[in-house]
Structure formats: C-alpha cells, structure tokens
C-alpha cells in the first residue's frame, strides 16, 4: 500500500496546494491516505477515466446496505441532512439518476438559461453600481457571492424578501462535503437542512396552487411518460441547484480575479480585448479550481493500474491536481487567459457532469467582462487575501478591492 505524507489541512497547503500536487503527480500519482481512508488520484488521465468508469459511483447504497458496506448507521440527529442526499440526483446512480436528470433537463433547458442573460447583466450592473457609489468593495461579499445567489433565486422564484436566508443555508450544508467537520458544523448543517427543506416545501405547495413563471413551478409540473418529481425530490433538486449553482461560481470569480491581479500583463490583455473573456473564464476554472476534490465509491472489486480497489472503497479524484497535469497542459503552472487547448475537469465528467455548466459559464463571462470594463484600474485594497481553512471547496475569506 502506497502511503505518503499528505496533510490537506496544513496552512501552507491551504495557501497554495499546487506545489504539493506537482510532487505527488511526479512521485506518487496514486496514493493511500490513511486519515481519510481513501485512495487519491492526481493525474488528468486517471481522474477523467475514473469519472466515466461505471464501476465507480457517487453512492453504493443502491447495491448494498450501509451495514454491508461497513458504514455506521446514520445518527438520528443527522437524518434531516442526509434526507437531502437521499433524494438528490447528485447522490444517485442510474437508473434513478437518469430518471431525475431527465425530468430536470426538461425544464432547466439551454433556452431557459439563455433567457437569463439580460437578468444576469442587470444584477451585475446593480451590484457594481452600489460598489461604485461606495468607492470600494469586498469582491466576494459584495459581488461574487450575491450575483450567483440572486440569479439562482430569480431562476427558482424565491421572493426577494426571503433571499437573505439562502447563502447561510447553503454555506452550512456544503461544509459537510469537506473531509472532516466539527460537531458544530454538523449541527448547523442539520438546522439548515430542516429550515431550507421546510421553506421549499411551503413554496412548492404555493406554486402548485398558484403557478408562476419560475423553475419551482416548472419542476412541480414537469412530467415525462407519467413520471413526476416527488416533493422530496423537488426540494433536493432546488437545494442542489442553489449549492452547486453559486458556491463554485462565487469562488471562480474570487480565485480567478486574484490570479488576474497577480498577473497584470494578463489583466491588461483582457482589458484591451474583452473578447478573450470566454478563454479567460476557462483558465480561471483550471488554474485555481474551486472544487478541489470529488469522491466516488467503488461499486465492485476493481484492479486499476495494479491497485486493488475492493467494493465499498472510497476514492478521491483530485481535480486541482488534474487541472495542472503537465502531461495534458502546456506550462500548467502558468496563468494564460488565451489558452485555447484547455480540457480542464472542473465541471466533472460522465453521468455526473455538472448540470449547471452553461449557466455558470454565462454568469462568469458577464461578471468578469463587466467588472473589468467598469473598473479597469481594479486593485487590492489591503493585505494579500487568505483562503478559507477548507480543502474540498477552495475560496477566499475576503477580497477587498478599490480602483
């Protein structure tokens, strides 16, 4: 068994994990991490292959019980949180995943996403108007976070008076996706799951009585060959859309703009040629990946590159390392907004490829282009921003800027 000295919670690793990834790929591209009891895979080839290999899945509870898998029973106090996963396509495998994704695809269409373009631009302009009036902002709290949260709220049909709940609920829930979490984080996640589920249940019932032109109404009404979403499935889908739809987008804006400010020649290039925004956004997602790691379960005994992976083993696919693999990316540690050949893996792959990728790209392109057009002299206002003390979801604590 290959074991390495790997501490994803070390302060220097949190600040910059990429030199560690370079060493791991070169010396131990596949390694066993005893603390998390997972095999880690760090090359672009392995991560891409395993994402698409149907012998691995987001769950194994469709083929065996928790007891058979050697997992402890879910504690009673955590059941409200895990109920969201139980009904979410994110934690389902075919055929259930296929069924849920097909129903959601019927209403979360490219046409619906494209119809949001003007709204996204308006939200962007409104946030930047407020920042301009203040003469400065925290790029995360005042722009990168409220933009995608507001877009998702508009898309779902959450009334404006209730939207202040969404970010705290989401933050509490996604904290449970880290490699470890404290009892206090568990308590907050359970409370958020209860409150968010109750809120969405009431809103969905109201939309069934009084349909509106929003996604919650569409999800409540969607039908395919007599099949519909259950109320619990609708709730879990809305929670997934919020969590996945804003957390990563906010961190791409934060991480990406920090990279741009660290590379002034690239900033100048984008400012002079806004048409580069599409490749710039892809490079931001690759260079400082907002979702560093994605977990999968081994659904049957597998031998992969000489490693015996027994059924019920969990594996870690390290997106952050895969996106800097020199076997695939030319000069991978160079930030290049003109990079044309950029097969980054930030949206995942296989059946679990990110459903919201088109919306995320649209938001990011509008946000980055407008931000630079409005504030061409954007610069840091204070010391170097620090990353939050988390591993799986990579983002900054704060990002004060001025112009």
Give domain status of residue 48, yes or no: no
Q: Cα separation of 396 and 120, whole Å?
A: 23
- What is the pLDDT, as a whole number, of residue 62? 86
Exposed, middle or buried: residue 168 (CB in 10 Å: 0-12, 13-18, 19+)? middle
* pLDDT above 60 for 1: no
Q: How far apart are CA 74 and CA 90, in angstroms?
A: 19
Q: What is the pLDDT of residues 122-154, one digit of tens each?
A: 999 999 999 999 999 999 999 999 999 999 999
The label of the residue with tokens 């499935």 reads 233
71 vs 43 pLDDT, higher one: 43
**Assigned domain for 51 exists:** no
From the list 288, 321, 277, the residue with the least C-alpha distance to 399 is: 288
Task: Return d(Cα 142, Cα 233) in angstroms, integer.
Answer: 32
Strand-pair category, 293-298 with 56-57: antiparallel
Angstrom distance (rounded) from CA 218 to CA 263: 44
Q: What is the mean pLDDT of residues 5-27?
A: 95
Q: How many structural domains are present in the chain?
A: 1
What pLDDT, on the 0 to 100 scale, is given for residue 223? 83
pLDDT tier for residue 277 given thresholds of 50, 70 and 90: very high
pLDDT band at 251 (very low <50, low <70, confident <90, very high): very high
Query: Is residue 18 included in any domain, yes or no?
Result: no
Residue 391 Cα to chain centre, angstroms: 13
**Nearest to residue 345, comparing CAs of 318, 315, 321, 323?**
323
Which residue range forms the structural domain that includes residue 371?
68-289+334-402
CA pseudo-torsion sign 99, 41, 45, 306 = negative
**Per-residue pLDDT at 226:** 84
255 domain-assigned: yes
* Average pLDDT value over all residues in the chain: 94
Length of the chain: 403
| Distance from C-alpha of 63 to C-alpha of 156, rounded to nearest angstrom | 33
pLDDT mean over 207-232: 91
> In angstroms, rounded to a whole number, what is the distance separating the alpha carbons of residues 235 and 89?
11
List the beta bridge partners of residue 317: 41, 294
Contacts of 76 (CB under 8 A, 6+ apart): none
- pLDDT > 90: what percent of the chain? 85
Residue 280 within a domain:
yes
Q: How far apart are CA 185 and CA 176, in angstroms?
A: 7
Residue 2: pLDDT band (50, 70, 90) is low
pLDDT of the residue at 146: 96
Q: Does residue 139 fall inside a structural domain?
A: yes
Burial class (CB in 10 A: 0-12, 13-18, 19+), 231: middle
Q: Give the alpha-carbon dihedral of 266, 269, 270, 273, to 10 degrees.
A: -160
Which run of H or of E encompasses 307? strand 307-309
Neighbouring residues of 387: CB distance < 8 A, sequence distance ≥ 6:
14, 15, 394, 395, 396, 397
Q: How confident is the model at residue 4 (pLDDT cuts 50, 70, 90)?
A: confident
- The pLDDT of residue 33 is above 90: yes
User: 264 pLDDT exceeds 90?
Assistant: yes
Across the strands, what pairs with 379?
402
- The reported pLDDT for the residue numbered 310 is 93
- Spatial separation of the C-alpha atoms in residues 178 and 183, rounded to whole Å: 13
Whether residue 353 has pLDDT greater than 80: yes
pLDDT tens-place string over residues 286-336: 999 999 999 999 999 999 999 999 999 999 999 999 999 999 999 999 999
Q: What single-letter DSSP state applies at residue 29?
A: S
Predicted pLDDT of residue 61:
86
pLDDT score recorded for residue 345: 97
Q: How confident is the model at residue 63 (pLDDT cuts 50, 70, 90)?
A: confident
pLDDT for 3 equals 59
Q: Which residue spans within 287-395 are E strands per DSSP?
A: 293-298, 302-304, 307-309, 314-318, 379-380
Residue 213 has pLDDT above 60, yes or no: yes
In the chain, what are the helix, strand and coil shares in percent, each to the nearest 5? Answer: 55, 10, 35
Q: Is the pLDDT reported for residue 180 higher than 90?
A: no
Residue 132 within any structural domain of the chain:
yes
Residue 380 lies in a domain: yes
Q: For residues 315 and 311, give the distance between their C-alpha atoms in angstroms, rounded to a whole number.
A: 11
* Domain of residue 125, CATH code: 1.10.630.10
């Amino acid at each position: 068994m290959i074991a390495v000295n790997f501490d994803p919670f070390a302060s220097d690793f949190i600040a910059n994990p990429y030199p560690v990834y370079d060493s791991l790929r070169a010396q131990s591209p596949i390694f066993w991490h005893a603390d998390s009891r997972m095999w880690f895979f760090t090359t672009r080839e392995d991560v891409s292959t395993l994402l698409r290999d149907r012998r691995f899945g987001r769950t194994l509870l469709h083929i065996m019980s928790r007891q058979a898998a050697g997992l402890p029973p879910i504690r009673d106090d955590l059941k409200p949180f895990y109920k969201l996963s139980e009904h979410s396509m994110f934690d389902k495998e075919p055929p259930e995943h296929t069924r849920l994704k097909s129903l959601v695809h019927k209403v979360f269409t490219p046409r619906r996403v494209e119809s949001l373009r003007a709204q996204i631009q308006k939200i962007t302009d409104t946030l930047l108007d407020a920042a301009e009036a203040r003469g400065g902002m925290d790029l995360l709290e005042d722009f990168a976070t409220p933009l995608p949260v507001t877009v998702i709220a508009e898309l779902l049909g959450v009334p404006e008076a209730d939207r202040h709940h969404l970010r705290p609920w989401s933050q509490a829930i996604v904290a449970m996706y880290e490699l470890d979490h404290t009892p206090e984080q568990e308590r907050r996640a359970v409370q958020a799951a209860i409150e968010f589920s109750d809120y969405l249940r009431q809103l969905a019932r109201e939309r069934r009585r009084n349909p509106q032109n929003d996604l919650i109404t569409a999800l409540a009404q969607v039908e395919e060959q007599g099949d519909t979403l259950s109320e619990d499935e609708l709730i879990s889908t809305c929670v997934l859309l919020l969590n996945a739809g804003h957390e990563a987008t906010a961190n791409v804006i934060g991480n990406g703009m920090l990279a741009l400010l660290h590379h002034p020649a690239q900033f100048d290039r984008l400012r002079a040629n806004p048409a580069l925004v599409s490749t710039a956004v892809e490079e931001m997602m690759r260079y400082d990946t907002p979702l560093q790691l994605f977990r999968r379960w081994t659904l049957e005994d597998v031998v992969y590159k000489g490693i015996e992976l027994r059924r019920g083993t969990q594996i870690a696919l390290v997106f952050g390392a895969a996106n800097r693999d020199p076997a695939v990316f030319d000069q991978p540690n160079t930030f290049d907004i003109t990079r044309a050949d950029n097969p980054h893996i930030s949206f995942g792959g296989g059946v679990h490829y990110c459903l919201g990728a088109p919306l995320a790209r649209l938001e990011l392109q509008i946000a980055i282009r407008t931000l630079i057009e409005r504030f061409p002299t954007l610069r840091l206002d204070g010391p170097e921003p620090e990353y939050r003390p988390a591993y799986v979801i990579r983002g900054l604590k704060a990002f004060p800027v001025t112009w």
